[in-house]
Amino acid sequence: MTSGHAAIRKVIMKILIIGSEGFIGRFMIRDLKAKGHEIVGFDLCPGDAGKSGYTFVQGNLLNAGDLRSAMQGADLVMNLAAKHHDFGISREDFFQINEAGTQVILDVLTECRIKKFIFFSSVAVYGLHDTATSEDTPLTPCNDYGKSKLAGETLIRQWAQADPSREVLVVRPVVVYGPHNYANMFRLIDNIYRRRFLMVGKGENIKSTAYVENLVEAAVFMMERMRPGYDIVNYSDYPQKRSLEIANIICGELGRPPLRFRFPLPLAVCLACPFDLLAKLTGKNIPITANRIQKFARMNTWHGSDKVRSLGYQQRFSTEEGLKRMVAWYLAEGRRYRERCSSGERI
């Protein structure tokens, strides 16, 4: 692992962002443009965001020709593209994008003689742990998403080791949320707003989260400190919050009273089991399943991000402020498009 991050590289670069039209991509493009970098976006779908101030190339990351065209003249490539849902995606789909797709990217990087690469992975590579993880925690992924991300990381490590002058940064974020995201945090906000949420269990389990603007700023902070070699950094917001705290912050922003009633967890899991079967049979994104209840109410997802902070990164937004911003967006715009959440459509 590389060291010596103290000096900052204030170099204007041409940066290719793969997966540019997704949720994180729009914030990443905004921040990198603000620093003066030239941005090329690459995505399978054009997206809804509009293409202001950067070049967009539509293509498939599994197609070397598409990537080759987009990478011309790039100084650094960043991969935000991934398969990531808890429904309707097969093991083959996960590995096709997160492993095979990564290999295509690495092959074209080599061909184009580009030596700087940033890969957005996930804390899912750690698997389940009762205590906080760090970058040194053993990797024991327990689902196909985490396993496929680890497979991609393995390829990237080998690529970095093949040429000591290559600079690689792997970012492992926790659950990311913010405006324009229609995933887990959106579902929680939506269910509380529609009075369809019950607090299951005691709500004392830790739920590491990352507000999108904090994550992007941390990634750019690390990008400016890249050096030859292979480096890994986790990201989660501090301080860590418990599931009941997160739910009650949302309640407050929605003008709802704090949650007081606790529904017994074993009973909730039993009642939700048929929804798991229905989700599996239909491939639909059903908001209430036993798996989601277990994740929210019992499982700790406690992931440390001390490393980036030890290098001088300072988190700009608290969890309260991040949730406030997302709830404000939900009330103004997001709730009108909740069907996109149900379909798993990317915004």
- As a whole-number percent, the residues of the chain with pLDDT over 70 amount to 87
Domain ranges of the chain: 14-174+211-235+304-313
**DSSP H stretches of helix in the chain:** 23-34, 64-71, 91-95, 101-112, 144-161, 184-193, 212-223, 243-253, 265-282, 290-297, 306-310, 319-332, 338-343
The DSSP secondary structure of 208-263, one letter per residue, reads -EEEHHHHHHHHHHHHTT--SEEEEEEE--SS-EEHHHHHHHHHHHTTPPPP--EE
Q: Torsions phi, psi of 189, nearest 5?
A: -60, -45
The residue type of 215 is L
- pLDDT band for position 84 (cuts 50, 70, 90): low
Spacing of C-alpha 35 from chain mean position: 22
* Least confident segment among 127-141, 228-242, 266-280, 316-330: 266-280
Please classify residue 240 by burial: count the beta carbons closer than 10 Å to its beta carbon, then call 0-12 exposed, 13-18 middle and 19+ buried.
buried
Query: Rounded to 5 degrees, what are φ and ψ at 70?
Result: -70, -30
Whether the CB-CB separation of 259 and 244 falls below 8 Å is answered with yes
CA angle 264, 144, 343 (to 5 degrees): 70
Which pLDDT band holds residue 140 (cuts at 50, 70, 90)?
A: very high
pLDDT at 104 over 90: yes
Beta carbons within 8 Å of 292's beta carbon, 6+ residues apart: 86, 184, 272
Q: Within 10 Å of residue 169's Cβ, how many Cβ atoms?
A: 25
DSSP state of 155: H
pLDDT at 269: 75
The better pLDDT of the pair 343, 252 is held by: 252
Percent of the chain predicted with pLDDT > 90 = 68
Confidence of residue 345 (pLDDT cuts 50, 70, 90): very low
* SS3 (DSSP) at 45: coil
Q: What is the mean pLDDT of residues 157-165?
A: 98
Helix (H, G, I), strand (E, B) or coil at 122: coil
Which value, in Å, is the radius of gyration of the alpha carbons in the chain?
Answer: 20
Is the link from the previous residue into 138 a cis peptide, with omega within 30 of 0? no
Q: Answer positive or negative: Cα dihedral of 278, 279, 284, 285.
A: positive
Task: Give the model's confidence band at 236: pLDDT under 50 very low, under 70 low, under 90 confident, else very high.
Answer: very high
Q: What is the pLDDT of residues 244-288, one digit of tens each?
A: 999 999 999 999 999 987 777 778 778 777 877 777 777 666 666
Does residue 86 carry a pLDDT above 70?
no
> Exposure of 26 by Cβ count < 10 A (0-12 exposed, 13-18 middle, 19+ buried)?
buried
Instruction: Tally Cβ neighbours within 10 Å of residue 141.
Output: 19
How many angstroms from the chain centroid is the CA of residue 307? 18
Local confidence band at 237 (pLDDT 50, 70, 90 cut-offs): very high
Q: How far apart are CA 179 and CA 334, in angstroms?
A: 8
The whole-number pLDDT of residue 272 equals: 75
Alpha-carbon distance of 186 to 323, in angstroms, equals 10
- Domain 14-174+211-235+304-313 sits in CATH at 3.40.50.720
Q: Per-residue pLDDT averaged across 223-250, rounded?
A: 96
Burial state string for 212-236 with b = 16 or more CB within 10 A and e = fewer than 16: bbbbbbbbbbbbebbeebbbbbbbb
CA–CA separation, 247 and 253 (whole Å): 10
- Among 199, 277, 285, smallest CA distance to 243 is for 199
pLDDT at 282: 72
Res. 82 pLDDT band, cuts 50 70 90: confident
Highest mean pLDDT among 127-136, 154-163, 284-293, 330-339: 154-163
Q: Is the pLDDT of residue 76 over 90?
A: yes
Distance between CA atoms of residues 342 and 91, nearest Å: 21
